[in-house]
Amino acid sequence: MFKKPKSSGVTAEIRVRRCYGCGAILQDQDPEEVGYIPPEKFATGEEALCQRCYKLRHYSTMKKTSSIDIDYATILADAKDNEALVVYVLNAFCLTSSLIPSIGKYLSDNVLVVVNKRDILPKNYSEDYIKAYVTKALEKEKIKPLDIILTSSAKEYNIDEIIKEIKAYRNDKSVYFIGAYQVGKSSLINCLLRKYINSTDKMITTSPYPGTTLDVISIPIDDNSYIYDTPGIYNEKSIISFVEPEQVKYIIPRSEIKPEVYQTKDGQSFLFSNLARIDMLSGEKCDITVYKSNDITIDRCKTLKADASFKELAMNKDVVPHTDKVQDIADLDHYDFKVEKEGFYRIRIVGLGFIEFKGIDQEFRIYAPKGVEIFMEETSIVL
């Protein structure tokens, strides 16, 4: 299925160059013909995807769905009826927002879970903890995966392990990749494609899945089976679904995050642009460790001045990320969290990030856009 293209013994002058996605002979003369790549790319002589296959790298422009509607349910039903392998892709940084609500009832037991973007979290962040967290979350959906693999498509971490397990578990059947919006699903497939040779005469295609209106990329594995790259599902409880699309790139980390540690006490506030705010209302002073995109700058101030500072940030459109949907703090909802017993805690603003701290008797107030999920969970030291 997946294997590195082998160079033949023929000379470079007569060697036929093929797209490593669909196998079409590459050419730079006619954009309307199969195998076309731009002349400047063709001239390099490097391995390449034809322009048609290259659309995989622009999957974000394709139709997405905000829930498991009847069209998406049809795709999952086909996968289940055909005993296909489902590869469920999650995001290591935004685990909560990458879990698709109610997905469990649509899946069989033939599910491989891949947690992408491992490279975004600090290297010393516990992988055992990540797997345990995912396992517990999947149990709520009654999903018992064949395995959980941590990976990074950007660093090609554990890619060979994924290929090995897909081969082992698919039993010559098709493979359906599913996942929430912005988990890096298509980037992961692109990474797999770099090790793929199409040995059939079938092409990679992008078209509505039979019986639905949803665009699905079909990648031939052999004469009888395909990899299906399905649309990303929006999590309506994530801040990613609230902000303008051009702001998403600043919220989703693009490189290893650098945790920031702040000492806080009652009467202090932390502003995340005009997207969110954390106030410490009362309790013992403590250190909080903040995990968020390196593109987000935190502004700290006294809570008495926080409303005015927030308003100032909302008016400054040069600050990134930024949303025009929030003009002042009154445009956000707030939730209060009080530590009832001593321990280690995490507060998550779904899609934006999280804070970790040692709790004694603190009380926090968290502001975020309406509909964005915020919750506190007791945890253990993971660093």
- Give the highest mean pLDDT range of 187-191, 193-197, 248-252, 326-330: 326-330
C-alpha 188, offset from chain centre? 10
At residue 156, does pLDDT exceed 80?
yes
Residue 34 CA to residue 47 CA, distance in Å, equals 16
Residue where the block lists tokens 């989703």: 252
| Averaged pLDDT for residues 11-27 | 59
- Confidence tier at 383 by pLDDT (50, 70, 90): very low
Residue 219 CA: distances (Å) to CA of 95, 192, 193 = 27, 11, 9
Half-sphere exposure of 358 (CA within 13 A, CB side): 8
pLDDT computed for residue 60 by the predictor: 43
pLDDT computed for residue 61 by the predictor: 46
Enumerate domains of the chain plus CATH numbers: 15-48 (no CATH), 62-229 (3.40.50.300), 247-379 (no CATH)
pLDDT computed for residue 3 by the predictor: 58
Residue 348 CA to residue 352 CA, distance in Å, equals 8
pLDDT computed for residue 356 by the predictor: 95
At residue 223, does pLDDT exceed 60?
yes
C-alpha 292, offset from chain centre? 14
Q: Is 270:354 a contact under the CB 8 Å cutoff?
A: no
Residue 371 CA to residue 242 CA, distance in Å, equals 9
At residue 55, does pLDDT exceed 50?
yes
More confident residue, 274 or 22: 274
At residue 147, does pLDDT exceed 60?
yes
Q: What is the pLDDT of residues 347-376, one digit of tens each?
A: 999 999 999 999 999 999 999 999 999 999
- Give the highest mean pLDDT range of 53-57, 115-119, 206-210, 244-248: 115-119
